[in-house]
Amino acid sequence: MKFNRRNLIKSFAALGSVGFSTRVLAQDKPNPNNLPPNLPEWTPDLGAGVDENPYGSPSQFEREVIRRNVPWLTASSQSSVNFTPLQDLEGIITPNGLCFERHHGGVAEINPTDYRLMINGLVDREMIFSLEDLKRFPQVNKFYFLECAANGGMEWKGAQLNGCQYTFGMVHNVQYTGVKLSDLLRETGLKPKAKWVLAEGSDTSGMTRSIPIEKILGDCLIAWAMNGEALRPEQGYPARLVVPGWEGNMWVKWIRRLEFGDKPYMTREETSKYTDLLTDGKARMFTWVMEAKSVITSPSPEKPIHHKGIQQLRGLAWSGNGKIKRVDVSLDGGKNWTTAQLHAPIMAKSLVRFTLPFEWRGEELLIQSRAMDETGYVQPYIQDLQKIRGKNSIYHNNSIATWLVSKSGKVDNVRLG
Amino acid sequence: MYVWVKIVSVLLLTSLMGTWSLQASDRAFNLGNIATSQQVKGWDIDVRPDGVGAPIGSGSVFDGEEVFAEQCASCHGDFGEGVDRWPELVGGEGTLNTHDPLKTTGSYWPYASTMFDYIYRAMPFGVSQSLSYDETYQIVAYLLYMNDIIDDDFVLSDQNIGLIKMPNQDGFLLPDPRPDASTIDGNPCMKNCDVPVKIIGKARDIDVTPED
């Protein structure tokens, strides 16, 4: 066997890839033998053939681009959450394998042949649909962000987690393929008294949420595909509810039933959880919309600055109330702002990419981004939220974050006051 | 001419038929199957605050103590106090307006129906929908008793679950008042803005971020 790099990788992989991968990834100095004028080691040999990797995966050098969790947050990994590595992504599409996960009883594994969606209650006809039935309806293809209402929840009282991924990563953005509920419900008909829908999942948690009928008939979908392929199991395979612009908990995965009624159902998820406790002990209920928000993905705690001179500040913005109209960026903690460039496509209820070039001379910076949506709503400061809602809310923290860039180029999540 | 008339009448006929079939069933695509009442009964497990959907059955506090000890206490504690980091189910009265609120079925949940609905559908964790209806009534009765909401001789059933008044039933505000904390004039400050720029906290100092 000819000794080449690929065989080397293989034999290391057989020994256990951990040591190798850290060595490769930790290598930040280039190997001079691979640089001009030398012949790089990957050039003379044949690479992997087309039968080696029938379902492709990212380069081995991208192994650190993964979802991560915060083990101390939850008692069980089956009722837990992990976070999208926003700092490593470009554009606005989240690759399927990097979409954050939030389950209440682990991932249900459903054979699509055994999948059924039941529609019952205040309809003209109580009906059951198979996945094949659903796919025969007229379909739509739509980009939407999905954000957990608790995204940034650990930051209500102060800067707590030192990472873009941990403080903003409970959001993802994919293109859904599915059927509009307004089309699906033409089969069942609706009784005039139907005002609310109970959406129910078929996982072990039996996830349930009440949704008003206007929203259901407005833009909700039953989706079976994301980014061109079947939903991933952890995103509700074979079918999930899509509730554009509203909190992720309502996008019931592994959906098995829609019940129509004249009142809300007051499920555990909309009483015990996903209600916003104020300082006087009262709690807001049915706060569904995810208001405008933005984050600087680079520089960020995971993406320090390595060189003086020109930098391309990058970030993401989104609003559950429509399109992002503008994003401003400050380098001095919010005293002065510059409007960033928004990159097309700019779609309602979808992530939008923004960039802003700037020159860094090695000075300390306090960087912030501030999103504005088409309603004229401007992303608030945490103090604005705290003044009205106190510090016990957990959910719906859409405030402006501050990254401190120190003179070394290191970046920290900080709170200003 | 003859051909033209024929086409028109065919078109007319099909459009009439189309209207007729819409009125008769409204089924635009003729997809899916009618669900039988038995199929619906098996999956329609939700219970509403007014008791609608509560399955026939009943349970006492006394029996509930035993079932809870067997099925729930390993995670939630004998008295619902919570073991390790598993959720507490009892206590917390008077804490909702403090810096350290404790939300439990007793202190926070607005409806007893939600306890039945959730426990039947989701608990015990990892063995969901394994309790009988009577066992579920027993457990809910026990938790209501432990939270000082009912007396020890109370028997909870489908007949009275919609009548239980929970301590925090009036603790919830509707509708959503947002936007509540932002300038919505689309014209935020751009230059020399009056904002605090002193660093008052660093995540690095809290030191709870997982290391890779």
**DSSP-assigned letter for residue B54:** P
Determine the pLDDT at residue B183. 72
The pLDDT mean for chain A works out to 93
Whether A112-280 shares its CATH topology with A293-414 is answered: no
Query: Residue ranges per domain, chain A?
Result: 112-280, 293-414
User: Closest approach of chain A CAs to the CA of B77, in angstroms?
Assistant: 14
> What pLDDT does residue A27 have?
56
d(CA A246, CA A395): 12
Domain ranges of chain B: 55-165
Positive or negative, the CA dihedral A208, A209, A214, A215 is negative
Please state, in angstroms and rounded to a whole number, the distance separating the CA atoms of residues B198 and A333. 9
DSSP A321: T
Assign A22 a pLDDT band (cuts: 50, 70, 90): very low
Order of strands across the sheet that contains B33-34: A208-212, A196-201, A255-261, A116-121, A127-130, B33-34
CA atoms within 13 A on the CB side of A370: 27
Specify the length of chain B in residues.
Answer: 212
Mean of the per-residue pLDDT values of chain B: 89
Q: Does domain A293-414 have CATH number 2.60.40.650?
A: yes
E-state strands within A122-185 = 127-130, 140-147, 171-180
Say how far apart CA A97 and CA A232 lie, in whole Å.
8
Q: How far away is chain A from the Cα of B97, in angstroms, using its nearest Cα?
A: 4
Instruction: Select the more confidently predicted residue: B120 or A5.
Output: B120
Q: Say what the ipTM of the complex is.
A: 0.90
Q: What is the pLDDT of residues A91-140, one digit of tens each?
A: 999 999 999 999 999 999 999 999 999 999 999 999 999 999 999 999 99
Contact at 8 Å (CB) between A407 and A364? yes
Query: Is there a contact between A271 and B26 if contact means CB atoms under 8 Å apart?
Result: no
Residues of B in contact with A336 (CB under 8 A): 190-193
Q: Is A115 helix (H, G, I), strand (E, B) or coil?
A: coil
Query: Residue B25: its pLDDT value, please?
Result: 58
Band of pLDDT at residue A75, cut at 50, 70 and 90: confident
Residue A90 has pLDDT above 60, yes or no: yes
Residue type, B144: L
pLDDT digit string (tens) for A228-282?
999 999 999 999 999 999 999 999 999 999 999 999 999 999 999 999 999 999 9
Q: Is A378 on the interface with B (CB under 8 A)?
A: yes
Q: Does the structure show a pLDDT above 80 at B9? A: no
List CB contacts (< 8 A) between B209 and chain A.
70, 161-163, 166
DSSP calls for A49-77: -TTS-SS----GGGTT---EE-GGG-SBT
Q: Which CATH class is domain A112-280?
A: alpha beta
CATH of domain B55-165: 1.10.760.10
Q: Which of residues 117-146 of A touch B (CB under 8 A)?
A: 118-120, 124-130, 133, 136-137
Interface list for A 54-93 with B (CB within 8 A): 64, 68-72, 74-76, 78-79
B202 confidence band (pLDDT: 50, 70, 90): very high
Task: State the average pLDDT over residues B162-174.
Answer: 98
Helix B61-71 to helix B133-146 angle, to the nearest 10 degrees? 100
pLDDT in tens, A131-188: 999 999 999 999 999 999 999 999 999 999 999 999 999 999 999 999 999 999 999 9
Q: What number is the average pLDDT over the span A62-88?
A: 93
Percent of chain A scoring above 90 in pLDDT = 91
> Could you report the per-residue pLDDT of B57-106, keeping only the tens digit for each?
999 999 999 999 999 999 999 999 999 999 999 999 999 999 999 999 99
Residues 304-333 (A) with a CB less than 8 A from some CB of B: 325, 328, 332-333
Across the range A81-90, mean pLDDT stands at: 97
Q: What is the mean pLDDT of residues B164-170?
A: 98
- The pLDDT of residue B185 is 81
Give residue B26's pLDDT: 66
Helix-, strand-, coil-residue percentages of chain A, each rounded to 5: 20, 30, 50
Q: Do B111 and A279 touch (CB under 8 A)?
A: no
pLDDT per residue as tens digits for the range A211-231: 999 999 999 999 999 999 999
What mean pLDDT is predicted for residues A351-370? 98
Min Cα separation A124/chain B (Å): 9
Going by pLDDT thresholds of 50, 70 and 90, the confidence category of residue A352 is very high
Question: Which of B40, B118, B200 comes nearest A417 by C-beta?
Answer: B200
CB A402 within 8 A of CB A333: yes
Q: What is the mean pLDDT of the segment spanning A317-327?
A: 98
pTM of the model: 0.91
pLDDT at B14: 41
Residue-wise DSSP of A74-108: -SBTTBEEEE--GGG--SSPPPGGGS--EESS---
Shortest Cα–Cα distance, B56 to chain A (Å) = 19
Following CA atoms A340, A345, A346, A347 in sequence, which dihedral angle do they give, to the nearest 10 degrees?
Answer: -160
Q: What is the reported pLDDT for A14?
A: 33
Q: Which residue has the higher pLDDT, B14 or B152?
A: B152
Mutant choice from A124, A188, A271, A414 vs B, greatest count of B C-beta within 10 A: A271
pLDDT at B36 over 80: yes
